[in-house]
Homo-oligomer: A and B are copies of this chain.
Amino acid sequence: MIGIFDSGIGGLTVVKALTEHLPNCDMVYFGDTARTPYGTKSPGIVAEYALHDIEFLLHKGAKLIVLACNTASAAAGENIRKKFDVPVFEVISPAVEYSLRISRKFRIGVIGTRATVDSGIYEKKIRDINPEAKVYTAACPLLVPLAEEGWIKRPETNMIVRKYLHPLKVRQIDTLILGCTHYPILKKTIQRKIGQRVKLVDSSLTMAQNVKTFLEKYPEKYQMLSKNGKTEFFVSDVTEQLEKTARDILRKRVRLEHVRV
């Protein structure tokens, strides 16, 4: 099956996108809710946690790993690929490639957690492909707690989103990468505040499309992963709020099984 992990439950936006693209694949999700969030922590500790998370998924039988967390992808993506025999997908490269395909003026904005933005990985990957591209980043540390609280349509959230996006807006970006798997939850607000002309790149969707393209190229792998289209959900801590937010993202009730890491 496909193993997917995130620091918490933001990565469920990736599960949702993967289920739409690959409805027959079995999946196992792990949310490290006992140590969430990753986005405010150092690259060293995030890389360490990402290793634990992957080992858990492999132990559960995953044959393909998806890092559904931009912070973990930024801190550990490259190294982790080399460490394991199974294919490992990080969330950043597909978003970068897609943004360069759709951008006209190559003025690209990126929003993410402080850890993701501080890593400079989006700028690097974008300029590796197109050295002429202009990249403007903004760390938005309060968006994860706002999304997890379910404050989607509140005026306070509008104000905070506007404040964070302001420096990107004045730079007249034409494309904005949502560089955190929580942000699709706030997509409508973000689109309204940055303006309807700016194209949003949802890293959950581009990641799912990327996995699908890969599996179409390797039909034997696809066949191995395709079974009943069932997903199991594991988390390292369970609370009521978590169950509620998970339900809101997936639009159905799921059982979050508690495991110790």
Contact = CB atoms under 8 A, between A and B. Distances in A.
**10 tightest A-B CB contacts, nearest first:** A145-B145, A45-B237, A156-B159, A35-B35, A34-B45, A42-B239, A156-B160, A41-B237, A42-B237, A156-B156
Interface string A26-39: 00000001111000
> Number of contact residues on A: which range applies?
20 to 34
Interface string A93-113: 000000000000000000000
Nearest to A240: B118
A34 B40 contact: no
Interface of A: 33-36, 40-42, 44-45, 114-115, 141-142, 145-146, 148-149, 151, 155-156, 159-160, 163, 236-239, 241
14 contacts: A34-B41, A36-B40, A40-B239, A41-B239, A42-B237, A42-B238, A141-B145, A141-B149, A142-B145, A142-B146, A142-B149, A142-B151, A156-B156, A156-B160
A156 B154 CA distance: 11
B149 A159 contact: no
A142 B143 CA distance: 10
